[in-house]
Amino acid sequence: MRLLVAAVGRLKQGPERELAAWYRKRAAAAGRPLGLRDVEIIEIRESRARDAERRRIEESIALANVIPARAIVVILDERGENLDSTAMAALLREWRAEDRQAVCFVVGGTDGLAPSLCERATLKLAFGTATWPHQLARIMLLEQLYRAGTILAGHPYHHG
């Protein structure tokens, strides 16, 4: 099963990019024996539109265009479900057992996502009630994918 993270904006050179790469590598290593392919990162350019609604629509169209056909769509949304790591792993196990070809995690831009893209979501996922910078949300998502892989592999997920 392909795992994709489609996100608005680029992680700049520095600690955030290094940490994201580190968790991506660890997630790939943990998931490979389980039939989870390398985590693909697709970065969408931020819209330069002056109006927030126009930016939201342009970015959502660009994101929608990179989501594979028949993929499970998971959007990061502050109003979404708060899943613990075990529940996230269980969902990945379930989707893999259903022989789903891809899961695409979508991280919107500063202005959020258009309703049309939100409606495509199988799951709206939150990392608590706090507001997180998009760069950190992406890193936390990659860490959770790594952790889910270790849980599915039977490793003690609370370590390292």
The pLDDT, as a whole number, for residue 47 is 96
Q: Quickly state the pLDDT bin for 120 (edges 50, 70, 90).
A: very high
Alpha-carbon span 84 to 160, nearest angstrom: 17
Q: Quickly state the pLDDT bin for 95 (edges 50, 70, 90).
A: very high
The pLDDT, as a whole number, for residue 159 is 54
Cβ partners under 8 Å of residue 112, min gap 6 = 56
Residue 147: name the closest of 18, 6, 42, 29 by CA: 29
Q: Is 30 left (phi over 0), alpha (psi -120 to 50) or beta?
A: alpha
Average pLDDT over residues 132-152: 93
Q: Is 151 left (phi over 0), alpha (psi -120 to 50) or beta?
A: alpha
pTM reported for the whole predicted model: 0.93
For residue 46, the 8-state DSSP code is P
Instruction: Round the average pLDDT of the chain to a whole number and report it.
Output: 93
Set out the domains of the chain in order of their start, with CATH numbers.
2-152 (3.40.1280.10)
